[in-house]
């Protein structure tokens, strides 16, 4: 059962030194308004967990938290899109924990699904071997990674009903998995509709996983934000 609150109220759930999962992929399907609130609130010493750094060039979406130097540890699979973040990692202002993208997602899934580890062959024969424990299953070598959980997950969906049932549109990417893997889950949505308006088979994340719903930008506003970004960076 979820509670609807404002983004200003929601950001108070995140305190200094928290671990925060942020849904989305390189700027797409990210909770833009909540990220702005986190950046404005100046919360410090965050461990941020997201699949990759923000939109190419930095300074956009989670890149705003990088510019504010709010992150002390970054758990991810890729940082190559944000030169500011790379600089902070090289200067040892930010600790980096990498795993291959598919492994990263399964670690979060394991964290949310009550599993003890992820056992994967990906990364065998590479430096990734040093990041995990090696185990043999049926005679074949695998790498064992620990699950990932967070204090707070801030995710993005298209719509919610008052029960916290979430509907996605487009690529849901890391959002449904992260919705399961934190003590407090805040879902930013384009709109909140009545119970029953999201048909049961359209529910991408059942409300059982969601604690707070916040209204983000409307779909039209988001469409304009992304069109402007894509046009400004010669992608559209």
Partner 1 sequence: MPRNYIARRIAQEFKDGMYVNLGIGIPTESANYIPAGTQVFLQTENGGLMFGPKPKRGESNPDIANAGAEPITMMAGGAVFDVATSFAMIRGGHIDMTVVGALEVDEGGSIASWKIPGKLLTGMGGAMDLLYGCKRVIVAMTHTDKHGNPKIRKKCTLPLTAAGVVDMIITDKAVFRVAEAGLYLEELAPGITAAEVERLTEGTIMNIIEWEHIEIT
Binding site for partner 1 (CB under 8 A): 25-29, 51-52, 55-56, 76-81, 86, 89-90, 96, 98, 100-103, 105-106, 109, 120-128, 158, 168-177, 219, 222-223, 225-227, 230-231, 235-236
Q: Which is nearer to partner 1, 122 or 184 (CB)?
A: 122
Shortest distance in whole angstroms from residue 42 CB to partner 1: 27
Reduced to 3 states, what is the DSSP secondary structure of residue 72? strand
Q: How far apart are CA 216 and CA 152, in angstroms?
A: 17
Shortest distance in whole angstroms from residue 96 CB to partner 1: 8
Shortest distance in whole angstroms from residue 65 CB to partner 1: 17
Residue 1 has, within 13 A of its CA and on its CB side, a CA count of: 0
Reduced to 3 states, what is the DSSP secondary structure of residue 69? coil
Shortest distance in whole angstroms from residue 129 CB to partner 1: 10
Q: Which is nearer to partner 1, 19 or 167 (CB)?
A: 167
Q: Which is nearer to partner 1, 117 or 226 (CB)?
A: 226
| Cα–Cα distance list, 110 to 53, 120, 148, 195 (Å) | 22, 12, 7, 30
Note whether 183 and 222 are within 8 A (CB): no
Q: Which is nearer to partner 1, 171 or 208 (CB)?
A: 171
- Pairing relationship of beta strands 118-120 and 71-76 according to DSSP bridges: unpaired
CB atoms within 10 A of CB 119: 17
Q: Which is nearer to partner 1, 43 or 157 (CB)?
A: 157
Q: How far apart are CA 132 and CA 227, in angstroms?
A: 41
């Amino acid at each position: 059962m979820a509670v609807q609150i404002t983004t200003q109220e929601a950001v108070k759930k995140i305190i200094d030194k928290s671990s925060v999962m942020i849904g989305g992929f390189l700027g797409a399907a990210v909770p833009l308004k909540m990220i702005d609130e986190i950046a404005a609130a100046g919360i410090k010493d965050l461990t941020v967990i997201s699949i990759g750094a923000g939109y190419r060039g930095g300074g956009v979406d989670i890149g705003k938290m990088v510019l504010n130097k709010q992150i002390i540890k970054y758990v991810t699979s890729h940082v190559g899109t944000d030169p500011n973040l790379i600089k902070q990692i090289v200067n040892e202002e930010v600790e980096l924990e990498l795993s291959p993208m598919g492994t990263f997602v399964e670690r979060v899934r394991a964290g949310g699904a009550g599993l003890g580890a992820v056992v994967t062959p990906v990364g065998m024969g590479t430096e990734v071997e040093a990041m995990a424990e090696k185990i043999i299953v049926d005679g074949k070598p695998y790498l064992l990674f620990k699950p990932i959980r967070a204090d707070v997950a801030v995710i993005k969906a298209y719509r919610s009903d008052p029960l916290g049932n979430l509907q996605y549109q487009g690529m849901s990417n890391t959002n449904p998995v992260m919705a399961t893997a934190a003590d407090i889950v805040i879902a930013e949505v384009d709109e909140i509709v009545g119970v029953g308006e999201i048909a049961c088979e359209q529910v991408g994340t059942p409300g059982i996983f969601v604690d707070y719903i916040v209204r983000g930008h409307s779909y039209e506003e988001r469409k304009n934000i992304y069109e402007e970004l894509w046009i400004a960076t010669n992608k559209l």
